[in-house]
Amino acid sequence: MPLLLRAASLTNYREVARAGGLDPDRMLREAGLSPSVLSEPDLLIPAERVGALLQASAERSGNESFGLCMAESRQLSNLGAVGLLIRDQATLSDSLDVLMRYQALVNASLTLMLRESAEGVVLSEQVRPGHAHQPTRQRVEMALGVMLRLMRVFLGAGWQPRRVCFEHPAPRDRSVHHRLLGRRVDFDADCNGIVCAKADLDVRNPFADPAMARYAQRLLDAAPPPMQSVLLEDVRRTILLLLPSGRCAIEQLAEHLGMASRTVQRGLADEGQSFSSIVQEIRLDLVTRHVIESDRPLTEVAMLLGFSAPSAFSRWYQAQFGCSAKESRAARTQLSRSAKSAAREVK
């Protein structure tokens, strides 16, 4: 079953594409999307096609910050009924809880996690690419840009996070990132996320309207259930959290969820899934950004994907893709050079 997201995720696509010298309708059709999706925000469209569209648009326009530029003028209203409910929560913490609860209604390919760290609180995001080796850079930057705008609704337009971090390498020009995200933007980081003070989450929302919140809740209660079960999303989120620790076993996951291992296994079996199949699925998702979209050492990649040793990761990668991770990176470099050469010829 394809991962789906609301067509509202493409808000501002036409404007950013034209600013980059592109024909937006042509780009949409080439990605397998009708131009009419831009006028139907509640339509659910395949995340894989959106990812292909953003990647092709960034390459052909030469704008490495294409996805981030699309987030620049996003509003909570672009999230539909979920945005209405978020807007009228008492605190930012309550709003983030709402967003995580209803994430599948907005974007089933995005997983949000909130955790404490030595720096404060980290709101991290993981984007599932849709199929192995589809680049996620543009979707990740767009999602984090939208998230930062949401936080500034509560904390003020001038609020600055302690840090914004991306797993992928830095672009040649960081000016757009600094203008939209602040001066503390780190690349080749261990997660995609926004770091803020814990006190920021408890800031009161002076414009919260309980009556409007109840109205938005009724709209959501009447909406069709999400395509993915709550258990599946909880398991995926927990695996993402546990993998880098090297302690991602069914026993640790069940303990984290406050359930018995057999209960988790039965619940997954009812969904036609298993713990090992989901770990495999997530590793295939993560390997795209860690191998193809970054230059981080492969020993570190092995750890982030939860392998006990680099050799185990090497064997797994060879079995999945029929080549080594080093060979994949070499092919990526060659493809990037060809794409840049084609973009120059078009211009």
Higher pLDDT, 102 or 148: 148
Question: What local confidence, expressed as pLDDT, does residue 81 receive?
Answer: 87
In a shared domain, residues 63 and 208? yes
120-127 and 110-117 as β-strands: parallel, antiparallel, unpaired?
A: antiparallel
Range of the domain at 124: 4-221
* Mean pLDDT of the 192-199 span: 95
Last residue of a domain, one of 159, 188, 221: 221
How buried is residue 235: exposed, middle or buried, by Cβ count under 10 Å (0-12/13-18/19+)? buried
In a shared domain, residues 142 and 272? no
Q: Is the dihedral of CA 325, 326, 327, 333 positive or negative?
A: positive
Residue tagged 């950013």 (tokens):
16
In a shared domain, residues 104 and 144? yes
Q: Give the DSSP letter of residue 27.
A: H
In a shared domain, residues 129 and 194? yes
pLDDT at 313 over 90: yes
CATH number at residue 213: 3.90.1520
Question: What local confidence, expressed as pLDDT, does residue 346 receive?
Answer: 55
346 within domain boundaries = no
pLDDT at 228 over 80: no
CA distance 101 to 71: 22
Task: Return the minimum-mean-pLDDT range out of 241-250, 255-264, 298-307, 333-342.
Answer: 333-342
- Closest among 293, 322, 320 to 307, alpha carbons compared: 320
Task: Return the minimum-mean-pLDDT range out of 133-137, 179-183, 338-342.
Answer: 338-342
Question: What local confidence, expressed as pLDDT, does residue 117 receive?
Answer: 87
CA 300 to each of CA 171, 260, 303, 313, 333: distance values in angstroms, whole numbers, following the listed order? 21, 32, 5, 10, 20
Task: Return the minimum-mean-pLDDT range out of 94-108, 118-132, 260-274, 304-318.
Answer: 118-132
Q: Is the dihedral of CA 201, 202, 204, 208 positive or negative?
A: positive
Q: Please, are residues 161 and 139 in contact by the beta-carbon 8 Å criterion?
A: no
- Name the domain count of the chain: 2
The mean predicted confidence, pLDDT, of the chain is: 87
In a shared domain, residues 59 and 145? yes
Question: What local confidence, expressed as pLDDT, does residue 47 receive?
Answer: 86
How buried is residue 49: exposed, middle or buried, by Cβ count under 10 Å (0-12/13-18/19+)? middle
CATH number at residue 242: 1.10.10.60
Q: Is the dihedral of CA 24, 25, 29, 35 positive or negative?
A: positive
CA distance 340 to 328: 18
Last residue of a domain, one of 221, 246, 272: 221
Tokens of 189: 């980081």
* Mean pLDDT of the 249-265 span: 88
Question: What local confidence, expressed as pLDDT, does residue 292 receive?
Answer: 80
In a shared domain, residues 329 and 272? yes
- Secondary-structure percent of the chain, ordered helix, strand, coil, rounded to 5: 60, 10, 30
Higher pLDDT, 187 or 237: 187
pLDDT digits (tens, 9 = 90+) for 1-34: 567 788 999 999 999 999 999 999 999 999 999 9
68 within domain boundaries = yes
CA distance 199 to 16: 35
Which own/partner pairs from 184-188 qualify as long-range (CB within 8 Å, at least 24 positions apart)? Answer: 184/160, 188/294, 188/295, 188/296
In a shared domain, residues 47 and 177? yes
pLDDT digits (tens, 9 = 90+) for 71-125: 998 888 888 889 989 999 999 999 999 998 888 788 878 888 888 888 899 999 8
pLDDT band at 226 (very low <50, low <70, confident <90, very high): low
* Mean pLDDT of the 294-306 span: 89
In a shared domain, residues 176 and 314? no
Task: Return the minimum-mean-pLDDT range out of 47-56, 150-159, 169-178, 283-292.
Answer: 283-292
DSSP string, 40-85: -TT-EEEHHHHHHHHHHHHHHHT-TTHHHHHHTT--GGGGTHHHHH
In a shared domain, residues 128 and 248? no
Cβ partners under 8 Å of residue 68, min gap 6: 141, 142, 144, 145, 176, 177, 180, 181
In a shared domain, residues 146 and 234? no
Q: Please, are residues 143 and 68 in contact by the beta-carbon 8 Å criterion?
A: no
pLDDT band at 151 (very low <50, low <70, confident <90, very high): very high
Task: Return the minimum-mean-pLDDT range out of 152-161, 185-194, 285-294.
Answer: 285-294
Tokens of 48: 């894989």
pLDDT at 225 over 70: no
